[in-house]
Structures are given as C-alpha cells and as structure tokens.
Chains A and B, each alone.
Chain A
Amino acid sequence: MAYVAHDESDYVPPAEVEEVELYHPKTFIGKYIWSQDAKVIAIQYSITAIAVGLVALVLSGIMRLQLGYPNTFSFITPGTYLQFVTMHGMIMVIYLLTALFLGGFGNYLIPLMVGARDMVFPYVNMVSYWVYLFAVLLLMASFFVPGGPTGSGWTLYPPQAILEGTPGASWGIILMLVSLAFFIVGFTMGGLNYVVTVLQARTRGMTMMRLPLTVWGIFMATILALLAFPALFVSCIMMTLDSLLGTSFFMPAIVSMGQQLDYGGGSPILFQHLFWFFGHPEVYIVALPAFGMVSDLISVHARKNIFGYRMMVWAILAIGALSLVVWAHHMYVSGMNPYFGFFFAITTLVIAIPTAIKVYNWVLTLWRGNIHLTVPMLFAIGFVFTFINGGLTGLFLGNVTVDLPLSDTMFVVAHFHMVMAVAPIMVVFGAIYHWYPKITGRMLNDTLGKFHFWATFLGSYAIYYPMHYLGFLGVPRRYYAMGNTDFLPESAHSLNAGITIVALIVGAIQVVFLYNLVWSYFKGKPSGGNPWGATTLEWQTPDTPPKHGNFGPTLPVVYRWAYDYSVPGVDEDFIPQNQPPGEKTRGLEET
C-alpha cells in the first residue's frame, strides 16, 4: 500500500483562527427567527426550499396530466402549460436544490464538520436567508400578477421571453429576473461565508486533506457558484433593461406579430452563452455536494474508509475546474459557430473521466466492506445506480454528433432529470435520514423510510428510463400536445399516459416522507449522539442536537482523517477524528 497523507495521525497543526465569543441571543425571536446560528439558518433554508419545492412538484404533476391526457383538463392551456414548465424547472434547480444543498446542508454541516463554532460571518449569514426568502416570495408573487408567471422555459431565452406570444412577457418575466437577482445576492452572502469558514475556521488539526468529502463537495460547489452566478446576474439585469427600457443587449431587429419593434443589433446567442456559463456549473453546484455527501454515507454505512480519498478530492477539483469550460455543449444546435462543437465536445467528454473515477470509488468502497443496508445506504445505492444511468446518457448529449438527433427532445428531459433531479434528490433523502438524528435527537421511522426509498427509486426509474425512448422517436420537449404527428405510433401516447400515472403515484408517496419527518420529530426513537458510529466531528458534539457554539467549552482537536473505519487491530470499527492516538485505538504499530 502506498504511503498516504491521512496516516499522519500524530501531527496536529495549530488552529488558524482564535476562539471567538459568539453572541448568544436570549429571546425566542433572536434564537429562531432573526437567528445568527448557522444550524437554525440551515433549518430555515431547508424548510423554505422544501416548501417551494412542493409547489414545483405539484406543477410537475399538472404537466404530466397534460402530457399523458391531452385535451382533458380545461385549466391547462398552452400558455399555462409553459408557465408550469418554467416555474417547475426554475424552482427545482435554483430555489430548491441550490438552496437546500448549500444554504441547508452547507450551513448545518460545514461549521460542525470542520470543528467551528459557527460560520465566520454569522450576521451576513442571517441576511443571506432573509434575502433568499424575499426572492422566493417575489417568484411566488408572479402567480398572482396580470398575465401570470413567465412561460419562457427555465432558460428564459430572449427574444421570446420578453415578447408578446409568450405568457408572462410583461410582469412575470420581470419578477423572475428580479427574483433571480435577489437570489444571487443572498447566495453570495452565504457562499462567501461557506468558503471563508472552510478556509479559515477549521479547528486545530483539521487540515484540508482531513476534511470529510461532504465539506469538499459543498466547498467546491460554493466556489463554482460564486464564479458562475454573476453571469446569470448580469444576464438578468440586461434582459430587464431590454424589457423595461428598450435597450437591445439581446434583441436584434424583430417583427413581432406583424409589428416592427424598436430593437436592433443585440444578440440572442450572447444571452445563451451567459446563461450556460452559469447554467452548466449549476449542474455541478447541485452535483458536487451530492457527490460529497454520498461518499460519506457510503463510507459510514459500509463501515469502510472511502476508497481513494485523495483521488476523490482531485476529482472534485478537476470536475469543478472543467465545468467552467463546457457550457456551450448546451448550444450545439443553437446556431453558434459550429466549429465550437469540437472544443466543447472534447472538454465535455474529458469531464467524464474524473466523474467515472468517483463512481468507481463509491462501488470500490462497498467492496470488502460490511454493508449495513440502512435507509441512508439504500438511498446511496439508489443514487449510484441512477447517477450511472444519467451520467452515461450525458455522454450521448455531450458528444456533439450524437447530440444532433437528441437535442431538444424528451431524451434531454429524461437525461437531466435522471442526473440532476432524481440522483441528487436520492442523496438529499439519504442525507436527511442520515443527519436527522443529529438535528432532532430522534431517528426517522425505518419502515416508512424503506417504503419511501423503494417507491421513489423504482418509481422514478420507471418514469425516466422509458422517457429517453420518446426522445429517440423524436418527441420534442416543451410541447403542449403532440396531436396527430405522422411518425408517432399510438403506443407512444400510451407510454406517455403510463409515465403520468407512475409520476403521480411517486409524487403522492412523498407525503409519507413528510409525515415521517413530522411524526419522528415527536415520536421517533431517541438516537443518542452518534447512532451510526461515524467518525466525523458533527457526531462527537457534547449535545444532540448541538447547542449554539456546537462544541461546548472547548473546540475539538483533530488527529486523523475522516475515514478511520475498521482500522486493523482496533476493537471499535470506527475512530472519531478527534480521538488522540493511543494504544487502545491504534494497532498499526504491530503490523
């Protein structure tokens, strides 16, 4: 076995920052509303994100009703359909997944896992949440304005996004753009906190190469987001100006509905470059935290160190860096200079290599482990399976030629739902089952959890796997109805109806999960401080749930990496990161 850095268990570098005195609020409002405690902020973020995600889930059910049973529901018109599509997509990607992974899990786990009392800037952290909430409310307000929310697709492509002929082209789109701008402002405040906390507030002994992969994933995702969101921010501002002041950043000369408009000289393609400069890293902003967390879930529940930790860290860094130079693979058929296709196909397929390494290392972590098939582990396995499928279909779309027949079809919808909806949500669920005991002090109900896993895992595969084949047939995405289309067999319509039925069932079953969250909060089995026997610092807190300040009077000191599971010669099958080296725990000397 090669020499590895994690084994420097005797070395304890000095802490990089000194102990800080936190402001401990006395009132209920100070503790739970205007809270500066990252853990409370995390819960606020999570509840808001899940609530708005439920709205988006209902919207997806309505979309499926239309696709499965066209011309049956009078309230679903082509306009409202596009509005539901748009709001579903934007809410899920930005307001649910980004907010939940970074604002939710990031806030809860970063300070605990790096051994900090709180985020470095607690006040800014608090403001971050309230700005996020404001952005959510603005977005929801667009359901109630004249014309309703925008129906321009979650990509908001101009010119149509701000022209008559697209629903919500007056009020809805402006609310969307302004809401996004606020979201980005709020996120930036939180994001700076997460990065600085990881860099500056790690406890004594917590070197970068001893960080749990969860922290690495969230850390890298946050850096990506800080680099990528500004591109979206400027596009939002410019499109708002195009719409309200008649500037022509993205607007060429246009005849709309027979009328010459006063635009000229702008470039719709410019918007697409800016959007995807944000949009592609966004995929990894969601995926990297999921990668990190699932690594920890697999390691803990297989009672085995994560395989190839250093390679995993390098893979995260490589994916993060590469993800900034692949954006135009979303634009192969956009009309941009086709020679770009060569460059972006190469970068896109290269990114498959570090991604594949992560997958290999997850399954190699299971190999020769002692696998506890707990609910978090089930979701982790479900994630790996789903992610393999979604990752591999990404190789179809990323390879410029193969993309030609499949771009803009249901294949794309199936692919990105598999890879960035179902797969990350599998991790979200797994992570909630895993960390809920730390957050509440109680276990989630196991039977309900298993039922929830099987229904969600099998159901979502049944929804999205066949959907790829509608794409091969040539069914376009964002179509309100197919009507009589020559090349579509009747069976394609039956398939659509079948997918709808499964989707509605899977959607409804999420109630079981919500019920479990509430029921277990009051009636769940008390968990104790470290029910899974995990090594990382959040499980070593003196109180469960951890109090404000996290670690009691003294901060923990870290002596080892996060993956000392089943170390030979040690009785226990895990050694906490803050356990000092000693004869009882370390038997390596003998071997």
Chain B
Amino acid sequence: MAVAIVLVLLVVGSILFHFLSPWYFTPIASNWGMIDDTVTITFWVTGFVFVAINFFMAYAVVRYRYQKGRRAVYEPENKKLEWWLTGFTTLGVVAMLAPGLFVWAKFVEVPKEASVIEAIGQQWHWSFRFPGKDGVLGTVDTKYVSVENPFGINTDDPNGQDDVLIASNEVHLPIDKPVKVLLRSTDVLHNFTVPQFRVKMDLVPGMVPYIWFTPTRTGKFEILCEELCGIAHFAMRGSVVVEEQTAFHTWLSSHPTFAQSSSRGAGDAVAGDPLYATCAACHGPQGEGNLALNAPKLSGLQDSYMQRQLKYFKQGARGTHDEDVFGKMMAPMAATLVDEVAIENVVAYIKTLPDKPAPATVNGDAAHGKKIYATCGVCHGPKGQGRWSTNAPRHAGMSDWYMVTQLKNFKQGIRGAHPQDMYGPQMGFMADLLVDDQAINDVVAYINTL
C-alpha cells in the first residue's frame, strides 16, 4: 500500500517540480525556437506515458496486493492487447521523431545568406577569425601554428591576408544575421556551446565541423566548452556579444587583419628607453622591483603579457577596482603611454634589462605547495617559465610577495573580474582552488624553489 501511495506522490511531485521549480531553459536568443518546440512535444508524449504507466502500476499494486486465499489469474499472453500497445507506442515514437528529423534537416542545411566565421579553440581559450573584405577565409593548417602565427594561417594564401583576427575570448555578432561558425581546434576536442542559442558542436583537431544560428536578441552570452579538454576545461569560457549592425562593424574594424598583425614590429627598445624613466622610479632602473613601493619585478616577463597588462591598465580593465590599492597607483602611470606603439617600445626596452631572480620573502611549506602547483604548472609550465599558448606569464624568479597579493586579488575578484580582462576570469577560477592564505604562501614558497 505504502509503495503505491509513494508512486503516485512521486509522479505528482515530479510534475509539480517540472512546472514550479525555477530551473529550466534560459530565455532563447537565437532562431532555434523549433528546438524548444521539439522538447515540448517530447515532454507531452513522455509525460503522458510516465503518468499512465506509473498510475496503472500503483493501482495494480493496491488492487492486487497479497490477500490470503486470493489467486492470481493465469494469463500467459494476450496477443490483441500486446499489438495494441505496440501500435500505440509506435505512434508516440513517430510523434516525437518526425518533428525531430524535420528540425534536424534545417540544422544540417546552412542558409545561403549566412556569413561564415571561424571559432578556434585551444587549451583553454577561444579566438575567432572573420574573412575580411574578400569574404573568404584563408587556408589554415595546424602545422603553421607558432608564437608568431598563433592562428596557423597559410602565409602563401592571398585570401588569408585580410582575415580579421580576434585574439580574444570575446566575439561580437550582428543581430538577426544568420552565421555559420566553422569550428577548428589545434590541440584536443572542444565544444562550442552558448546555452541561449540551444545549438552546440564539437571542435575536432584534423577536421572542421560547423554550426549555424541567427542571434535574435542583443546582449552578452557566455560560451562554454562542453567537451572535456583537460584540467582547465571548466575555465574555458568566452562570450558572444550580439549587437546592432553598426556597432558590430565598429567593433570588427578595431581588430587587425592578418597582414597588419604580422607586419607589426617587435617594438623599438631605444625609443622605449626614455619612456621607461617613469617606470624606473618604482620598478627600479633594472626592472628588479621594489617591495617598499609595492612594485613587482618586470625584467624577464614575457612581452605579450606585459603589453596586455599595460593595455588593461590603460583601458581601465585593471587598476580600477576600489580595493586594488596598488593597481590604482599603476593605472595613471600606464596612461602616460600614449598609444600601442609606446607600449610596445617600453616593453621592448624592459626585455633588454638583465634578469636576476627576485629575492625570496615569503615563507611557506614548499612541499605542500608542490602538490598545489601541479595544477598551476599545466598552464604556467612545470618550471614556472610561462607559456605563450596558454597566455600564462612566467612566475619563477619573479617577485614572490607580488604573487601572494595577486593570488588574493584574483580569489576575491579584485583582479580578473573586469569584463574586458580576457584571461583574468580563468585565473580567478584557479585562484579559488587556494582555500586559505596558508595555501597561497605554500604555493608561492614552492615557486621560489623553481
């Protein structure tokens, strides 16, 4: 008896949960409302079966529960009933399958007017490529990928020269325009998912799958990688900003073409020398850092990392949080660098400075830190040397007290949470692993041994 009541309660409870709980699809932001319709159809068909069979079972358990002297009915089969049930089930299956296949046919066929862009996934971030003025994406190959040509574009292909490169986790798309996204990976499997768009597809190295959709709502939507791609899988996020056509064009034209980005020089150290005078006041003439002034060591840092941080300070993506006391001191200094060329020049000068390891000032349990560092080393390198491919700066031999401050800032969202800080959120996820201050000291103590 109890079991029958429980079955009924579970069925009723499940239905109530479905309608009353706050957890369901996010509001749709693409043309794929039809997918939601197929889900609704499936819910009605399966919901009916769920209720009918379970209520029948509950009734049978009550009605035919054991009674002394009762005898079960001997009925090996009932052909007619079995065929009716089979036919009925087949109808239900067709009712779900037919609309499903109908919508799938639309998903497979990309509309002719769709524009084509490329999403590139690699451990553990996104970048994007637009075809440029000629409307054709240049050919690419994984074997061309290098620090100078991170997109792996074929330099001999004229179609590639005007491709617009978005070296960022954030891509913009115009509203109400269908877009076909080519999905390319240079390392492992990834998956391009925007929950509000409903569609998703894997990125497979060695081939180029695709999806298409039409964004129908302006706003910023999160991209998630949904195919396991290693340790930082959960932190491989990006975003799609859907906006009006004009805003989109402004955004697109602010990015360099392949030809522009590959012709840009490395920066002029001689021109950077006078610019560095401002920096030297705090960071020291050799870029060695100064604890008393809370200025970290700079010499030995990768130029791409320094350029990015200087831009962030300049744009306000860093050094604007109320609690980032020293970041706020850095922001006006970065503002003195008038343009990107100035940033490149000063970074080029810093690269000429001698790289002497910073003194150790932090005490911690390096053995415990080593265990924690197993996670850090995947991006920052097992020797803490930094890696261009993961956008991870070097930290071996750098100012340890500064790393302690920054890890705390990342953990508390003082750094890395700004929407324009591309790789900061990822570090924020990782800093969350350090459960307390002791863990931070321990891992930094280990870094000092590298």
Residues of A at under 8 Å CB distance from B?
A: 1-2, 4, 6-7, 70-74, 77-79, 82, 151-153, 157, 159-160, 163-167, 252-258, 260, 264-269, 302-305, 307-311, 333-335, 338-339, 341-342, 345-346, 349-350, 352-353, 356-357, 359-361, 363-364, 366-373, 378, 381, 384-385, 388-389, 392-393, 395-396, 399-402, 404-405, 407-409, 458, 461, 465-466, 469-470, 472-474, 476-487, 489, 491-492, 495, 563, 565-568, 573
Partner of B26, one of A2, A166, A487: A487
Chain A residues contacting B146 (CB-CB under 8 Å) are: 260
Considering the complex, which residues of chain B in the window 45-62 have a beta carbon less than 8 Å from any beta carbon of chain A? Answer: 45-46, 49-50, 53-54, 56-57, 60-61
Question: How many Å lie between the Cα of A151 and that of B378 in the bound state?
Answer: 14
Question: B321 in the interface, Cβ–Cβ < 8 Å?
Answer: no
Closest to A369 in B: B72
26 contacting pairs across A/B (C-beta < 8 A): A1-B75, A7-B76, A70-B432, A160-B229, A165-B229, A165-B231, A254-B187, A269-B207, A308-B77, A333-B191, A333-B202, A360-B53, A360-B85, A366-B61, A368-B73, A369-B73, A373-B66, A395-B45, A407-B200, A458-B6, A461-B10, A465-B17, A474-B193, A489-B23, A565-B74, A573-B71
Question: B399 in the interface, Cβ–Cβ < 8 Å?
Answer: no
Which of these binds chain A: B86-94, B266-274, B333-341, B357-365? B86-94
Which of these binds chain A: B102-110, B282-290, B291-299? B102-110
A565–B196 touching, CB < 8 Å: no
Question: How near does chain B come to A374, taking the closest CB pair, in angstroms?
Answer: 9
- Known interface pairs A256-B187, A487-B26. Does A409 touch B429 (Cβ–Cβ under 8 Å)? no
Give 8 closest A-B pairs by Cβ, nearest first.
A252-B206, A474-B195, A258-B389, A335-B209, A165-B230, A304-B72, A408-B226, A160-B188
Question: B22 in the interface, Cβ–Cβ < 8 Å?
Answer: yes
Question: B281 in the interface, Cβ–Cβ < 8 Å?
Answer: no
Chain A residues contacting B173 (CB-CB under 8 Å) are: none
Question: How many Å lie between the Cα of A163 and that of B231 in the bound state?
Answer: 11
A481–B206 touching, CB < 8 Å: no
Question: B351 in the interface, Cβ–Cβ < 8 Å?
Answer: no
Chain A residues contacting B309 (CB-CB under 8 Å) are: none
Question: How many Å lie between the Cα of A496 and that of B76 in the bound state?
Answer: 46
B108–A339 touching, CB < 8 Å: yes
A260–B195 touching, CB < 8 Å: no
Considering the complex, which residues of chain B in the window 202-261 have a beta carbon less than 8 Å from any beta carbon of chain A? Answer: 202-207, 209, 220-222, 224-235, 237
Question: B375 in the interface, Cβ–Cβ < 8 Å?
Answer: yes
Question: B67 in the interface, Cβ–Cβ < 8 Å?
Answer: yes
B53–A363 touching, CB < 8 Å: yes
Question: B306 in the interface, Cβ–Cβ < 8 Å?
Answer: no
B77–A2 touching, CB < 8 Å: yes
A384–B204 touching, CB < 8 Å: no
A371–B56 touching, CB < 8 Å: no
Chain B residues contacting A404 (CB-CB under 8 Å) are: 32, 35, 107, 198-200
Partner of A258, one of B39, B207, B388: B388
Chain B residues contacting A339 (CB-CB under 8 Å) are: 108
Partner of B234, one of A164, A341, A373, A481: A481
Question: B82 in the interface, Cβ–Cβ < 8 Å?
Answer: yes
- Known interface pairs A167-B231, A268-B205. Does A257 touch B25 (Cβ–Cβ under 8 Å)? no
Question: B433 in the interface, Cβ–Cβ < 8 Å?
Answer: yes
Question: How many Å lie between the Cα of A573 and that of B100 in the bound state?
Answer: 49
Chain B residues contacting A265 (CB-CB under 8 Å) are: 206
Closest to A155 in B: B228
Question: B96 in the interface, Cβ–Cβ < 8 Å?
Answer: yes
Question: How near does chain B come to A450, taking the closest CB pair, in angstroms?
Answer: 10
Question: B157 in the interface, Cβ–Cβ < 8 Å?
Answer: no
B186–A255 touching, CB < 8 Å: yes
Which residue among B64, B206, B229 has the maximum number of chain A CB atoms within 10 Å of its CB?
B206
Chain B, residues 411-450, CB within 8 Å of chain A (1/0): the string is 0000001000000010011101101000100000000000
Which residue among A357, A405, A495 has the maximum number of chain B CB atoms within 10 Å of its CB?
A405
Question: B14 in the interface, Cβ–Cβ < 8 Å?
Answer: yes
Closest to B67 in A: A370
Partner of B439, one of A74, A78, A349: A74
Chain A residues contacting B3 (CB-CB under 8 Å) are: 373, 378, 381
A371–B24 touching, CB < 8 Å: no
Majority secondary structure, B binding face? mixed
B76–A4 touching, CB < 8 Å: yes
- Known interface pairs A79-B374, A157-B189, A342-B101. Does A405 touch B57 (Cβ–Cβ under 8 Å)? no
Partner of B204, one of A166, A269, A479, A492: A269
- Known interface pairs A311-B77, A311-B82. Does A395 touch B46 (Cβ–Cβ under 8 Å)? yes
Chain A residues contacting B108 (CB-CB under 8 Å) are: 338-339, 341
A381–B231 touching, CB < 8 Å: no
B39–A396 touching, CB < 8 Å: yes
A254–B186 touching, CB < 8 Å: yes
A258–B96 touching, CB < 8 Å: no
A476–B145 touching, CB < 8 Å: no
Further pairs besides A78-B430, A268-B206, A469-B23: 12, Cβ < 8 Å: A4-B76, A160-B229, A252-B206, A254-B188, A257-B123, A269-B204, A345-B101, A370-B70, A400-B101, A404-B32, A474-B25, A481-B432
Question: How many Å lie between the Cα of A470 and that of B23 in the bound state?
Answer: 7
Question: How many Å lie between the Cα of A481 and that of B426 in the bound state?
Answer: 11
Chain B, residues 98-142, CB within 8 Å of chain A (1/0): the string is 011101110110000000000000110000000000000000011
B96–A359 touching, CB < 8 Å: no
A255–B435 touching, CB < 8 Å: no
A371–B101 touching, CB < 8 Å: no
Chain A residues contacting B77 (CB-CB under 8 Å) are: 1-2, 4, 307-311
B205–A82 touching, CB < 8 Å: no
A491–B22 touching, CB < 8 Å: yes
A466–B17 touching, CB < 8 Å: yes
Chain B residues contacting A70 (CB-CB under 8 Å) are: 432
Question: How many Å lie between the Cα of A60 and that of B294 in the bound state?
Answer: 45
Question: How many Å lie between the Cα of A146 and that of B57 in the bound state?
Answer: 53
A152–B228 touching, CB < 8 Å: yes
Chain B, residues 4-44, CB within 8 Å of chain A (1/0): the string is 00110010001001000111111000001011101100100
Chain B residues contacting A369 (CB-CB under 8 Å) are: 60, 64, 72-73
Question: How many Å lie between the Cα of A492 and that of B439 in the bound state?
Answer: 28
B229–A356 touching, CB < 8 Å: no
A479–B104 touching, CB < 8 Å: no
B204–A334 touching, CB < 8 Å: yes
Closest to A266 in B: B206
Chain A residues contacting B264 (CB-CB under 8 Å) are: none
Chain B residues contacting A4 (CB-CB under 8 Å) are: 76-77
A388–B54 touching, CB < 8 Å: yes
Question: How near does chain B come to A458, taking the closest CB pair, in angstroms?
Answer: 7
Question: How many Å lie between the Cα of A395 and that of B232 in the bound state?
Answer: 32
- Known interface pairs A258-B389, A400-B104. Does A473 touch B24 (Cβ–Cβ under 8 Å)? yes
Partner of A402, one of B42, B50, B147: B42
Question: How many Å lie between the Cα of A157 and that of B17 in the bound state?
Answer: 35
Chain A residues contacting B123 (CB-CB under 8 Å) are: 165, 256-257
Partner of A268, one of B70, B199, B204: B204
B42–A399 touching, CB < 8 Å: yes
Which residue among A72, A82, A258, A359 has the maximum number of chain B CB atoms within 10 Å of its CB?
A258
Partner of B142, one of A255, A401, A484: A255
Question: How near does chain A come to B333, taking the closest CB pair, in angstroms?
Answer: 30
Question: B183 in the interface, Cβ–Cβ < 8 Å?
Answer: yes
- Known interface pairs A476-B226, A495-B23. Does A396 touch B79 (Cβ–Cβ under 8 Å)? no
Question: How near does chain B come to A65, taking the closest CB pair, in angstroms?
Answer: 13
A333–B57 touching, CB < 8 Å: no
Which residue among B17, B60, B76, B107 has the maximum number of chain A CB atoms within 10 Å of its CB?
B76
Chain A residues contacting B198 (CB-CB under 8 Å) are: 404-405
- Known interface pairs A255-B122, A402-B100, A405-B35. Does A160 touch B189 (Cβ–Cβ under 8 Å)? yes
Question: B167 in the interface, Cβ–Cβ < 8 Å?
Answer: no
Question: How near does chain B come to A438, taking the closest CB pair, in angstroms?
Answer: 22
Question: How near does chain B come to A571, taking the closest CB pair, in angstroms?
Answer: 11
Question: How near does chain B come to A568, taking the closest CB pair, in angstroms?
Answer: 6
Question: How many Å lie between the Cα of A550 and that of B221 in the bound state?
Answer: 66
